[in-house]
């Protein structure tokens, strides 16, 4: 999708790349590109790690097995250092979150025009239509630049927080943490409820917005770089090199906060 088409303005170009492929209306709008890419990348994660498990050997491991073992060991050590309860679900959950979010973030490295152009050509549109900016095919290939995806992940973590809080502490213990902390005084219970409810709700909100904000900003810069035209690739790869830090870092932060929140849910005061 050329950025220098005669009828394609800068605003239109940016808007096109920031628009999701969707079906439905209103609240029931489904972003099918976000769903498709996230499911595809989740399957890639499952297939790669399954392949590594099937080919694993107790002898001298190959490079592929070493890489997978390093990732598992890294996540395992993070869980051991941060999670203070006893739950066999936490380590697999942390591994899934880290690798899945990492793969979704990594789609940011693909030049922004490649996938939309390929999708438009598959849909039967001509080069002239694509270059003029009149393409009706919309696709965003970075799921974590969609607020629906990041909130979906964070709400899943939030549901686990509530589940384990009630399971470990009991419903009474969970509610007592809301109304009797930090001031265990009856006439301040109403104030405690306000403070603790805000703190509780802020966890999934901040978790979702942090991941979304960083990836959305990075994607927007990639789009601005693509508007340069034929000279975009050298600059794209310079910015992509910087993203070698940002993309795994955001996956790591999301994983670590998930471990911390679930560790807090397991603490029985």
d(CA 162, CA 133): 47
Determine the Cα angle at 124 with ends 119 and 126, to 5°. Answer: 95
Query: Which residue has tokens 């000279």?
Result: 231
Q: Which of 20, 134, 210, 263 is catalytic?
A: 210
How far are the Cα atoms of 178, 179, 195, 198, 223 from residue 188, in angstroms, in the given order? 11, 8, 11, 16, 51
d(CA 239, CA 136): 29
Active site residue 20: no
Cα-Cα-Cα-Cα torsion 167, 168, 170, 172, nearest 10 degrees, comes to -130
Active site residue 214: yes
Active site residue 132: no
- Show Cβ contacts of residue 242 under 8 Å, excluding neighbours closer than 6 positions: none
d(CA 42, CA 204): 21
- Rg, Å, the chain Cα set: 22
Burial of 148 (0-12, 13-18, 19+ CB in 10 A): middle
Just list the catalytic residues: 206, 210, 214
């Amino acid at each position: 999708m050329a950025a220098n088409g005669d009828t394609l303005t800068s605003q239109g170009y940016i808007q096109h790349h920031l628009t999701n492929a969707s079906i439905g209306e209103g609240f029931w709008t489904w972003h099918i590109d976000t769903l498709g890419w996230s499911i595809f990348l989740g399957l890639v994660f499952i297939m790669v790690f399954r392949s590594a498990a099937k080919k694993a050997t107790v002898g001298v491991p190959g490079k592929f097995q070493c890489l997978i073992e390093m990732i598992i060991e890294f996540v395992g050590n993070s869980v051991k250092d941060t999670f203070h309860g006893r739950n066999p679900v936490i380590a697999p959950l942390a591994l899934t979150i880290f690798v899945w979010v990492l793969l979704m973030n990594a789609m940011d490295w693909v030049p922004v025009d490649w996938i939309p152009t390929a999708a438009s050509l598959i849909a039967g549109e001509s080069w002239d239509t694509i270059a003029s900016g009149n393409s009706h095919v919309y696709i965003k290939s970075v799921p974590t630049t969609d607020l629906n995806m990041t909130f979906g992940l964070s709400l899943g973590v939030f549901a686990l927080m509530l589940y384990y809080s009630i399971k470990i502490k009991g419903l009474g213990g969970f509610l007592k943490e809301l109304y009797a902390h930090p001031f265990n005084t009856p006439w301040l219970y109403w104030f405690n409820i306000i403070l603790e409810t805000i703190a509780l709700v802020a966890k999934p909100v901040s978790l979702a917005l942090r991941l979304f904000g960083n990836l959305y900003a990075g994607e927007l810069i990639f789009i601005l770089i693509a508007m340069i035209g034929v000279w975009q690739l050298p600059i794209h790869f310079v910015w992509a090199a910087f993203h070698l830090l940002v993309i795994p870092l955001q996956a790591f932060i999301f994983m670590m906060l998930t471990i911390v929140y679930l560790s807090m849910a397991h603490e029985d005061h």
